[in-house]
Amino acid sequence: MAGSRGSAMGAVEPPSRPANAWWPWLKRIAAWLFFAIVIFLIVRQARTIDWSDVLDSVRAIPLPMLLAALLLAIGSHALYSTYDLLGRRMTGHKLATGTVMGVTFISYAFNLNLGSLVGGVAFRYRLYSRLGLDNNTITRVLGFSMLTNWFGYFVVAGAAFCFWPMGLPPDWKIDGGGLRLLGAALLLVGVAYLALCAIAREHTWRIRNQELDTPPLRIALLQLAMSCGNWCLIGGVIWFLLQQQLAYPTVLAVFLVAAVAGVITHVPGGLGVLEAVFIALLSHRVPQEKLLGALLAYRAIYYLLPLIVASLFYVVTELRAKRLRKTAPAPQA
């Protein structure tokens, strides 16, 4: 027995290298490449901004208006950061509330400045996967957050166009009647979604191998309140920066048009698109330099300041995720 055991022990060879030993290195390279792209995009974004014009525009706005706009911007980012909590409710994952809100805030800030593909999608997948969520859960959370955002948009835009149609430039061929019809159509889409949630509550639909859950009506109503509130807060930021020279529904309606124009053109941060829409629709009522000054201040308050904060949060979140992965118990064989 002893001899046979010794023979067996002598025949033992060192463990062979796993076939997928290249995978950890590939993940490290991909991570550093992701960081490099993010830094490049931030630097490129910063170089497109005339910082002296931004500072001059901010200085030209009375302090009470500036503070009111800043408070609304903080409220909007905080409210948007709760969107993924609804996704947590729908998927049942166990990440803490503060962690989910932090990931959503970081993604939203980068989404505004660098575009939805980098911010809204890449950052969510990066951070949530580092925190332990699988791709299917991340996709469902992301999809539900996008649904919440645009559901509120349809309702707010529908109400603004239907009940408070903006005064268009005199040489435009579209009148208030056309805007009212568009607003009514958008409101009908919102009502149809609520009806679907009431009838097919918590039903799972499969679209291209992806699951889409219909929330119960109470969650849909919460989506409505949160998203409508957020869009209205953003409109309020610009309204205060314009020093209330126009009616709030008018400013909100123009902003909603600009938001869709920015999505259609796929320009990161809507650079130039927001300004072009406001000038086209409001320059006959407000001097162009005042419009541009207010919009530059809006970008500084709503885009750039949150991006700085989100960048710091992102580093902290990455370090926290790395620490959690190191302390997590090893899977048992």
pLDDT at 44 over 90: no
pLDDT digits over 123-147, tens only?
899 899 988 899 999 999 999 999 9
- Please give the residue that has the higher pLDDT: either 291 or 35: 291
For the chain, the average pLDDT equals 80
pLDDT at 249 over 80: yes
Q: Averaged over 309-316, what is the pLDDT?
A: 90
The band of 93, judged by pLDDT with boundaries at 50, 70 and 90, is very high
The band of 4, judged by pLDDT with boundaries at 50, 70 and 90, is very low
Write out the DSSP string of 104-140: HHHHHHHHHHH-TIIIIIIIHHHHHHHTT--HHHHHH
The band of 119, judged by pLDDT with boundaries at 50, 70 and 90, is confident
Beta strands 204-207; 210-213: pairing state: antiparallel
pLDDT at 332 over 60: no
pTM of this structure = 0.78
CA distance 246 to 279: 14
Q: Phi/psi class of residue 162: alpha, beta or left (left: φ > 0; alpha: ψ in -120 to 50)?
A: alpha
The candidate with the shortest Cα–Cα distance to 252, out of 271, 221, 229, 224, is 229
Q: Is 268 helix (H, G, I), strand (E, B) or coil?
A: helix
Q: Phi/psi class of residue 190: alpha, beta or left (left: φ > 0; alpha: ψ in -120 to 50)?
A: alpha
Of 16-25, 155-164, 224-233, 289-298, where does mean pLDDT reach its minimum? Answer: 16-25
Of 13-17, 144-148, 317-321, where does mean pLDDT reach its minimum? Answer: 13-17
Q: What is the DSSP letter of 14?
A: P
pLDDT at 316: 85
